[in-house]
């Protein structure tokens, strides 16, 4: 299965949990059995899916809360950094050596590249 590591993770539709449980219920109600299909295994799969989905959703909520908190606190830190930098720039605006040292703290600007289609259209 060296192939599996290079493949993208498959994510079924959001309704998979309900679909799996519904299919198991239908198989049990109708008494269906098919070669290569074990209803007990599918039933266990449905239970495992629900447990793992709950754990996944819990972790995702924790991540989103932490991510939001990090963003807010980072914004406050950046604001303090920016205030300190601007204070230093203001205090030493006539000192070229200090301004050169402070120059390393400039925000890098990256311009987005034009899409290839837009470039060829612009050339015409």
pLDDT in tens, 50-76: 999 999 999 999 999 999 999 999 999
Q: Is 12 helix (H, G, I), strand (E, B) or coil?
A: coil
Q: Is 34 helix (H, G, I), strand (E, B) or coil?
A: strand
Q: Poorest-confidence range of 6-15, 20-29, 83-92, 110-119? A: 110-119
* DSSP state for residue 7 in the 8-state scheme: S
* DSSP state for residue 80 in the 8-state scheme: H
Angle, vertex CA 114, rays to CA 110 and CA 118, nearest 5: 170
pTM here is 0.63
The pLDDT of residue 122 is 56
Bridge partners for 37 per DSSP: 34
How far is residue 33 CA from its own chain's centroid? 40
How far is residue 115 CA from its own chain's centroid? 24
> Chain-wide mean pLDDT for the chain?
90
């Amino acid at each position: 299965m060296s192939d599996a590591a290079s493949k993208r993770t498959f994510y079924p539709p959001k309704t998979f949990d309900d679909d799996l449980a519904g299919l198991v219920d239908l198989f049990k109600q109708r008494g269906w059995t098919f070669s290569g299909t074990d209803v007990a295994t599918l039933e266990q799969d449905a239970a495992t899916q629900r447990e793992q989905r709950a754990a996944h959703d819990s972790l995702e909520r924790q991540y989103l809360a932490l991510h939001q908190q990090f963003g807010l606190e980072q914004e406050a830190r950046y604001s303090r950094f920016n205030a300190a930098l601007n204070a230093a720039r203001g205090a030493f605006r006539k000192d070229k050596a200090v301004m050169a040292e402070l120059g390393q703290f400039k925000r890098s600007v990256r311009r987005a590249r034009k899409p290839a289609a837009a470039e060829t259209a612009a050339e015409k």
